[in-house]
Structure 1
Amino acid sequence: MAVQRSEPVSIVQLGAPLGEGPVWVERDAALWFVDIKSYRIYRLDPETNAIQSWQTPGQCGFVLPCADGGLIAGLQSGLARFDPTTGAFVPLVDPEPQHPGNRLNDGTVDPHGRLWFGTMDDGETAESGTIYRLGADGRCVASTPSCAITNGPAFSPDGRTIYHVDTGKGLIYACSVDEDGTLSDARLFAQIPNSEGHPDGPTVDAEGCIWVGLYNGWGVRRYSPKGELLEQIRFPVSAITKVAFGGPERKTLYATTASKHLSAAERAEQPHAGDLFAFEVDVPGIPGVEIRHGI
């Protein structure tokens, strides 16, 4: 049964080259997201529609909350603490000093409070990216095979399954997660032909269904935990990069989008490309978790 309750509408007009990383931060009831190519972090207060922004010292793929009240940003140079009161960034760890052409692209926090994030080739061709887990000792543990463009990961509600994306090849994988964070039983969850769009950032709802944005696919898909396509929501723009649940009941789906791939003519046909969108659903998202390990 369809869970979509309203059509996606543009709620913040940014025209971002590469909007990404939406995350609902429970403690301040706000949506945080980034524009990777414009070096910006944004915070939206849905109650007032007030939006704040900060310059980043390089490309930033995500910003996520810590249990100590701070924020962690995923920069091209690695993980860094971000203080929105001063706009300062303090470097923590570079997971890949051997890959200067890579950048951090997407991230999430598992139910245990562990940070997981992916890297990718900024040129989008070399298979030099992987998914990492930030260990309790502050070291980054490579956890998946390499690919050119990683996205995700996302976790099942019980934290026992991780989903990660090879965007270039149109593949979504699932793995079992052991108590210590080790991954096993890697398997193909879903495959999307390039003609239907490229799977981008995923998230999971309270029923364990996987939502994924489609880059050049004009929409967002919802899959069952068994990999069955349940629903596709059509957007008025072609590149949806990631969705995140928010709002007091977590029944608003926010979606970042991109415009960097469009020609001038296509940009004129998609005036809301790069904006932040929102629509309502019947099934809520999972409560957010703050980072508690390795920071």
Structure 2
Amino acid sequence: MAISEPVSIWQLGAPLGEGPVWVERDQALWFVDIKSHKIHRLDPANGATRSWDSPGQIGFILPIASGGFVAGLQTGLSRFDERDGSFTHICAPEPEKPGNRLNDATVDPQGRLWFGSMDDSEETISGAIYRLGDDGHCIATSPLVAITNGPAVSPDGKILYHVDTLGGVIYACDVDSAGMLVNRREFVRIPYGEGFPDGPTVDSEGCVWVGLYAGWGVRRYSPAGELLEEVKFPVSAITKIAFGGPDLKTVFATTANKHIAPADLAKEPHAGDLFRFEVSVPGQRGVLIREGV
């Protein structure tokens, strides 16, 4: 695959940039900074940027078919209206776990929202993958881990990938007709010292891209789990990528400077910035969360 060199396009210095998503109706990239409680939007056509405050830590933001977004907050799912910056609570998947927060999410081809929770201290094994049901309840669909990332879904919607970041494992699961995860298996294991697998994204060929926290890059794996490409960055903590632009061949990457020692930050002046690079294989078209949220 032809891949250009990543370049910084928005000097944010975000402690924990995350959750990039290309929203086709806006022709804009949306993403969050979890620790700064921020939502960001970039319009690549003219370079315009805009930011909103969230009422707490925010792990993701994904568009709804009827307008607005679902935001994953520490308190649960909320509906975000970008016109006035308001948040309206939807549900709390884990009211009994105040130390957890929501961390990453995706929308499958059927318009269903899948998301993960994690221990905010990044230690306790208390996070899980959920699906938002039609009745507004959140359905747990995975064993517990300390830090979940993903999920991400194959182009046909039949395979869901999710990450145990501290365990260094990307799992693949089949999605059954009832919307539950079955046949969970190890897809890729990343050896300790090569970086921690962070947010996964699936391209139009069904290949899985994953950001590497403390790994200085992102990797692309075939549907069989074979390493195909690795894109190196000038910063160590790459959290997740999103495919955007008119042809979905522009890749946007969020990064972080959390956990980087002050003495080392001078070696990574662009840590926490938004990056961009170009690829020859496009991503998948984004799916809006179906009506009823």
Shift of 1:290: 0.4
Work out the number of aligned pairs and report it: 293
**Number of the residue aligned with 1:47:** 45
CA distance in 1, matches of 2:285, 2:31: 17
User: Contact (CA 8 Å) 1:256, 1:277: kept in 2 or not?
Assistant: yes
Q: How does 1:122-133 map to 2 (within 5 A)?
A: 122-133=120-131
**Number of the residue aligned with 2:138:** 140
Q: How does 1:62-141 map to 2 (within 5 A)?
A: 62-141=60-139
Alignment gaps of 5+ in structure 1:
none
Cα 1:4/1:256, change in 2 over 3 Å: farther
Shift of 1:183: 1.1
Cα 1:130/1:294, change in 2 over 3 Å: farther
**Number of the residue aligned with 1:269:** 267
AA of the residue aligned to 2:53? Q
CA distance in 2, matches of 1:241, 1:263: 18
Q: 1:254 aligns with which of 231, 252, 255?
A: 252
Shift of 1:142: 0.1
User: Contact (CA 8 Å) 1:62, 1:106: kept in 2 or not?
Assistant: yes
Question: Deviation string for 1:111-138 (max 9, x for gaps)?
Answer: 0000000000000000000000000111
1:7 is paired with a residue whose SS is coil
User: Contact (CA 8 Å) 1:24, 1:288: kept in 2 or not?
Assistant: yes
TM-score (norm 1): 0.98
Alignment gaps of 5+ in structure 2:
none
Shift of 1:293: 5.2
CA distance in 2, matches of 1:106, 1:81: 16
**Number of the residue aligned with 1:215:** 213
Shift of 1:4: 3.8
AA of the residue aligned to 1:225? P
AA of the residue aligned to 1:250? L
Question: Deviation string for 1:136-170 (max 9, x for gaps)?
Answer: 11100000000000000000000000000000010
CA distance in 2, matches of 1:256, 1:148: 21
Question: Deviation string for 1:147-197 (max 9, x for gaps)?
Answer: 000000000000000000000010000000112211111100000012000
**Number of the residue aligned with 1:237:** 235
AA of the residue aligned to 2:197? P
Cα 1:45/1:261, change in 2 over 3 Å: same
**Number of the residue aligned with 2:204:** 206
Shift of 1:294: 4.8
User: Contact (CA 8 Å) 2:42, 2:50: kept in 1 or not?
Assistant: yes
Question: Deviation string for 1:85-118 (max 9, x for gaps)?
Answer: 1111011100000100000000010000000000
AA of the residue aligned to 1:71? F
CA distance in 2, matches of 1:263, 1:191: 27
CA distance in 2, matches of 1:132, 1:289: 18
**Number of the residue aligned with 2:20:** 22
User: Contact (CA 8 Å) 1:14, 1:274: kept in 2 or not?
Assistant: yes
Tell me which stretches of 4 or more aligned residues in structure 1 moved more than 4 Å. none
User: Contact (CA 8 Å) 1:71, 1:83: kept in 2 or not?
Assistant: yes
Question: Deviation string for 1:45-92 (max 9, x for gaps)?
Answer: 001111100000000000000010121100000000001111110111
Q: Identity rate of aligned residues, in percent?
A: 67
Q: 2:223 aligns with which of 198, 222, 225?
A: 225
Question: Deviation string for 1:4-48 (max 9, x for gaps)?
Answer: 421000000000000000000010100000000000000100011
Shift of 1:268: 0.5
User: Contact (CA 8 Å) 1:10, 1:278: kept in 2 or not?
Assistant: yes
User: Contact (CA 8 Å) 1:253, 1:281: kept in 2 or not?
Assistant: yes
Q: CA RMSD in A?
A: 0.7
CA distance in 2, matches of 1:180, 1:8: 40
**Number of the residue aligned with 1:192:** 190
Q: 2:168 aligns with which of 162, 167, 170?
A: 170
CA distance in 1, matches of 2:2, 2:269: 24
User: Contact (CA 8 Å) 2:66, 2:291: kept in 1 or not?
Assistant: no
